[in-house]
């Protein structure tokens, strides 16, 4: 029988790994604790609007990833966005031109991972709490103590602190690799409006996204906001109400991790107000909320791309992938999963 693989984590890294294995005819099953695939590329459908909770867009640099994105575009699940980025600082709002190609999911970010997972077996609402070895194979035990398996191989496709917990007692060398990668938290808020946003002097009315420059002269822990996007300006969402996604600075998030959702959202919206000219009145939101991402973004990695694949796999059949092994972006997560899947397929007996 062909080598069977369980992948824990149906974010883009786990899904990319699964697709590479499946393309080589190897059986694979994904598990995720959430209601659907997507991980940090997930979106929330509210009555007023659909908001992206994690990544707002992604850039493309690597040729293999570019080919993949081309296939997504042909399937209609991505489009380029934003057309222009703005940068807000004490000297006002400026258009930011850098020539980088940026894309987003259509009609929401989670459309990408949904599309990729269409032909994969994904077991959702299933949190894997421990791994049990048995005769060179692995059983997965979930939150209801139900056992899944056995599998020849298990890929942990999740942020390193979560992977480390599962590795405890099994694979000290891989657990140590996980320890070297710090995943920092991030608050991500949204606010919906039933009136259009006011015009800003010198800024296009249809501005799509703005990066907020770090405030000078005060510590980053007191500077809440780093990025704001208008969800209704994204492709495939025209006609829905005005809504903002507001991403917090990592330093501020670390310092304010214990806030409740509503307070975090209010603080981020207030910070956005402060970036508008005093003559401009932002309407009151009709609803707002926030998501606390505990493991949002890997910090500068010990090895970066140099983290050799061999350091992320064990002879006992365990392996690791995810953005943390490569870099802080969607592209890194995809490449990490794709390359691991190719390597595992290459040495399947």
If the CB atoms of residues 92 and 259 are measured against ligand FAD, the closer one turns out to be: 259
For residue 141, state whether it binds ligand FAD (rule: CB under 6 A).
Answer: no
Least separation in angstroms between residue 29's CB and ligand FAD is 12
If the CB atoms of residues 156 and 200 are measured against ligand FAD, the closer one turns out to be: 156
By rule CB under 6 A, what count of residues binds ligand FAD?
A: 37
What radius of gyration, in Å, describes the C-alpha atoms of the chain?
21
Element (H, E) at 188: strand 183-193
Q: State both tokens at 258.
A: 């214990």
Where residue 348 falls (left for φ over 0; alpha for ψ -120 to 50; beta otherwise) is beta
For residue 314, state whether it binds ligand FAD (rule: CB under 6 A).
Answer: no
Among 236, 285, 322, 341, binds ligand FAD (CB under 6 A): 322
Q: Which residues neighbour 342 within 8 Å (Cβ) at sequence distance 6 or greater?
A: 20
Stretch that binds ligand FAD, among 11-19, 43-51, 81-89, 198-206 (CB under 6 A): 11-19
Q: State both tokens at 152.
A: 């020849």
For residue 120, state whether it binds ligand FAD (rule: CB under 6 A).
Answer: no
Please give the Cα distance from 246 to 228 (Å, whole number): 5
Q: State both tokens at 91.
A: 């000297």
Q: State both tokens at 290.
A: 């926030």
Q: What is the 3-state secondary structure (H, E, C) of 61-97?
A: CCHHHHHHHHHHHHCCCEEECCCCEEEEECCEEEEEC
For residue 158, state whether it binds ligand FAD (rule: CB under 6 A).
Answer: yes
For the chain, helix (H) and strand (E) counts, in that order, are 8, 20
Instruction: Find, among 26, 29, 25, 61, the residue nearest to 335 by Cα.
Output: 61
**DSSP string computed for 112-141:** HHHHHHTTSEEE-S--EEEEEEETTEEEEE
Stretch that binds ligand FAD, among 34-42, 114-122, 218-226, 232-240 (CB under 6 A): 34-42
- Alpha-carbon distances of 270 from 224, 248, 263, rounded to whole Å: 9, 12, 10
For residue 203, state whether it binds ligand FAD (rule: CB under 6 A).
Answer: no
For residue 40, state whether it binds ligand FAD (rule: CB under 6 A).
Answer: yes
Least separation in angstroms between residue 225's CB and ligand FAD is 12
For residue 208, state whether it binds ligand FAD (rule: CB under 6 A).
Answer: no
If the CB atoms of residues 1 and 293 are measured against ligand FAD, the closer one turns out to be: 293
For residue 9, state whether it binds ligand FAD (rule: CB under 6 A).
Answer: yes
Strand order across the 128-134 sheet: 128-134, 137-142, 147-151
Instruction: Give the sign of the dihedral formed by CA 255, CA 259, CA 265, CA 269.
Output: negative
For residue 34, state whether it binds ligand FAD (rule: CB under 6 A).
Answer: yes
For residue 41, state whether it binds ligand FAD (rule: CB under 6 A).
Answer: yes
Place of tokens 């995810």: 322
271-300 binders of ligand FAD (CB under 6 A): 293, 296-297
Among 108, 267, 329, 338, binds ligand FAD (CB under 6 A): 329
Counted residue by residue, the chain has a size of 349
For residue 175, state whether it binds ligand FAD (rule: CB under 6 A).
Answer: no
85-114 binders of ligand FAD (CB under 6 A): none
If the CB atoms of residues 116 and 345 are measured against ligand FAD, the closer one turns out to be: 116
Element (H, E) at 245: strand 242-248
Least separation in angstroms between residue 271's CB and ligand FAD is 15
For residue 32, state whether it binds ligand FAD (rule: CB under 6 A).
Answer: yes
What is the contact mask toward ligand FAD in residues 49 to 68, using x (rule: CB under 6 A)?
Answer: -----xxxxx----------
Chain residues binding ligand FAD by CB under 6 A are 8-14, 31-34, 39-41, 54-58, 127-128, 157-159, 162, 186, 188, 247, 293, 296-297, 322-323, 328-330, 333
């Amino acid at each position: 029988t062909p080598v069977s693989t369980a992948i824990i984590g149906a974010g883009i890294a786990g899904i990319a790994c699964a697709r590479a294995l499946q393309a080589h005819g190897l059986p694979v099953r994904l598990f995720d604790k959430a209601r659907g695939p997507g991980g940090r590329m997930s979106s929330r459908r509210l009555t007023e609007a659909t908001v992206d909770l994690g990544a707002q867009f992604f850039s493309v640099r690597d040729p293999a990833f570019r080919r993949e994105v081309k296939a997504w575009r042909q399937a209609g699940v991505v489009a380029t966005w934003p057309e222009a980025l703005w940068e807000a600082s004490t000297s006002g709002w400026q258009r930011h031109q850098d020539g980088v190609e940026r894309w987003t999911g259509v009609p929401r970010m989670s459309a990408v991972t949904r599309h990729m997972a269409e032909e994969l077996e994904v077991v959702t609402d299933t949190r894997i709490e421990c791994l049990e070895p048995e005769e060179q194979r692995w059983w997965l035990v979930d939150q209801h103590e139900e056992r899944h398996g056995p599998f020849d191989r298990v890929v942990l496709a999740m942020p390193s602190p979560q992977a480390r917990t599962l590795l405890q007692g099994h694979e000290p060398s891989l657990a140590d690799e996980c320890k070297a990668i710090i995943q920092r938290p991030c608050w991500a808020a949204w606010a919906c409006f039933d009136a259009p946003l006011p015009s800003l002097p010198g800024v296009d009315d249809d501005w799509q996204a703005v990066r907020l420059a770090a405030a000078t002269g005060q510590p980053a822990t007191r500077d809440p906001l780093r990025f704001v996007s208008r969800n209704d300006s994204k492709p495939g969402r025209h006609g829905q109400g005005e809504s903002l996604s507001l991403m917090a600075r990592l330093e501020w998030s670390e310092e304010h991790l214990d806030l409740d959702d509503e307070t975090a959202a209010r603080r981020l919206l207030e910070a956005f107000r402060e970036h508008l000219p005093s003559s401009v009145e932002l309407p009151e939101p009709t609803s707002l909320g926030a998501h606390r991402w505990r493991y949002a973004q890997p910090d500068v990695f010990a090895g970066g791309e140099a983290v050799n694949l061999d350091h992320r796999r064990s002879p006992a059949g365990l392996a690791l992938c995810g953005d943390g092994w490569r870099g802080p972006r969607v592209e890194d997560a995809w490449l990490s999963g794709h390359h691991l899947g190719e390597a595992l397929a290459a040495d399947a007996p």
